[in-house]
Structure 1
């Protein structure tokens, strides 16, 4: 399936072209675009993992243990997923009274501002080919204790062949339009003088299909039931190609 944008014909008078110092040969210029929808074959799921403890080591150990459980669960859905860490941080926790101090002032770790614990947080990103299971992965990550699990985007791992098809379709449409313009103008269409690739508008870095899930505690033994299946079918990725073709007019 394709959608072709309207073609913009333009007959260039030789007298006008000559005044600009450009090629004075009569010509027909047409612009054409082709859009090819394709189902995405990759999804990006992201989530955060939170850990707490009275020491920084305890907070990190809690975070790592929770992360390992989540990663193991996600691997049961998509074993070939690429799971990477994006950011990690450790924060000191002080009492409520310390938070009433003016923002930005230095604080000693004594008295009301004594450190009472630590938090550790890590941002994770999962790239998977299990596109239709991405929603189920979000659901399971939320059950296993992930914070704000979500689908960030869908995309195509490779779109070169799709772009080539788009160029071919756009050029074919441009020729049809140039022939129609030539017939209506009473001139004979000549050969191609030049072809310009105006732009490639492929899948963007972000897709606005987003699924979120709230934080949920992992259920106690016996083993939890299967994750809630979302049955997600993402929308197509639209790859757009635009070309401009300049045809000669035969004398």
Structure 2
């Protein structure tokens, strides 16, 4: 736990008191922060799946067969896989001599610009609680035909309790520092006038909306692969930072 505090004793001038019509007493303002390190409990692995074929259907079947093999392999590493498709697209493939400049005149799909095949691409995000096996999942996805597999990030599925701990630590530290300021200044610390949470809580747990590509009947997946190359990883801790501002009265 790392903590620091900024202290701003404020003494309100008489002119301000006269303008507001209310008596403003001197006060001590303390900005305190606490950082709570926690091991992540979720990892996000992302990759793309590429398929090719003479027709769009063949390209999609190729892509889906690879996707199914990858999902089956990853399910053997993570007991409860959460695989989500982000984008799916099909593109026409023409000869290398075809020049279809979008700013020029339209060209028919004949001659040099005749369609010679199709590609299908699917972007996938895989969320898992097996954070220490995320590197192995990247290795396995690459072996099974995934394109550009990688670990995107680690995160906490729920951090409310951690933030509550941080708030308690920050407020307790603010009290200690305010007492030290009062003693050093020769004044008596009064009660709390106001407490503000200055933290940005960030996004909460991910929702359950899933955008998935439609499944297409595909040939049987390849036989189970040999054990993947293990990549031992220990992710660094997630540092949850909480900031509070506490305003104390000064007793007369």
- Shared topology, TM-score over 0.5? yes
* SS at 1:77 equivalent: coil
C-alpha deviations, 1:107-139, integer Å up to 9, x for none? 210111000000000011111000000010000
- In the superposition, relative to structure 1, how do residues 185 and 13 fare at CA in structure 2: closer, same or farther (>3 Å)? farther
Root mean square deviation, CA, Å: 2.1
Q: Which whole-Å deviations, capped at 9, do the CAs of 1:214-250 have from their partners, x for residues lacking one?
A: xxxxxxx996431111111111111010011110111
Structure 1, gaps ≥5 residues long: 206-220
Shift of 1:202: 5.4
- Equivalent position of 1:7 in the other structure: 6
**2:156 equivalent in structure 1:** 156
> Which residue of the partner structure matches residue 231 of structure 1?
232
3-state DSSP of counterpart to 1:5: strand
1:186-225 paired onto structure 2 within 5 Å: 186-200=186-200, 224-225=225-226
How far is the alpha carbon of 1:179 from its aligned partner?
0.4
Moved more, 55-64 or 225-234: 225-234
Tell me whether 58-67 or 3-12 shows the greater mean CA deviation: 3-12
Q: Which secondary structure state, in structure 1, belongs to the residue aligned with residue 6 of structure 2?
A: coil
Alpha-carbon shift at residue 82 of structure 1 (Å): 0.5
Structure 2: distance between partners of 1:23 and 1:189: 18
Q: Say how many residue pairs are matched.
A: 234
Q: 1:20 to 1:46 in 2, by over 3 A?
A: farther
CA distance in 2, matches of 1:86, 1:247: 50
Alpha-carbon distance in structure 2 between the residues aligned to 1:222 and 1:122: 22
Q: Is the 8 A contact 1:202 1:238 kept in 2?
A: no
Contact kept? 1:70, 1:146, Cα under 8 Å: yes
**Partners of 1:37 and 1:226 in 2: how far apart?**
34
Tell me the SS of whatever aligns to 1:78.
coil
- Counterpart of 2:210? none
**1:109 paired to 2:109:** yes
* Structure 2: runs of 5+ lacking an equivalent: 206-221
> Does the CA contact (< 8 Å) of 1:197 and 1:244 recur in 2?
yes
